[in-house]
Amino acid sequence: PACRAGLHNVCATLGFVGEVCDGGFAEETELPARLLLRHDPSLDPAIAAMAEPLAVALHAVRRLSAPAGAPVLIAGCGPIGGLAALLLS
């Protein structure tokens, strides 16, 4: 039901490239066009690739109910944790 309603982030059959199909660590892979978004060709692909982790970090920071300047614990400093720390700094 969630998938059909367009709520793809909560589909019961949610899966990711590298999890439900090969290609997660591939230098190149082929995906259906419906899974892709165009970006300005002048944008460095390495920067474009950070759009999704940045969106996750921004979503987490926006949901945070701590007052501005309050200490915050970020558990883990992978790409998303690092970006969250940058957004909070």
Q: Is 53 found in the same domain as 29?
A: no
pLDDT, residue 32, reads: 85
Q: Residue 63: pLDDT above 90?
A: yes
23 and 51 both lie in a single domain: no
Is the same domain home to 45 and 81? yes
Q: Do 66 and 24 reside in the same domain of the chain? A: no
pLDDT confidence of residue 16: 81
Tell me, yes or no, whether 53 and 89 share the same domain. Answer: yes
Q: Which domain holds residue 28?
A: 1-36
**pTM of the predicted structure, to 2 decimals:** 0.70
In the block, tokens 């700094």 appear at 89
Q: How far is the C-alpha of 16 from the C-alpha of 51, rounded, in Å?
A: 16
Alpha carbon distance 22, 16 (integer Å) = 9
38 or 1: which leads in pLDDT: 38
25 and 66, same domain (yes or no): no
Domain co-membership, 31 together with 47: no
The answer to whether residue 74 scores a pLDDT higher than 90 is: yes
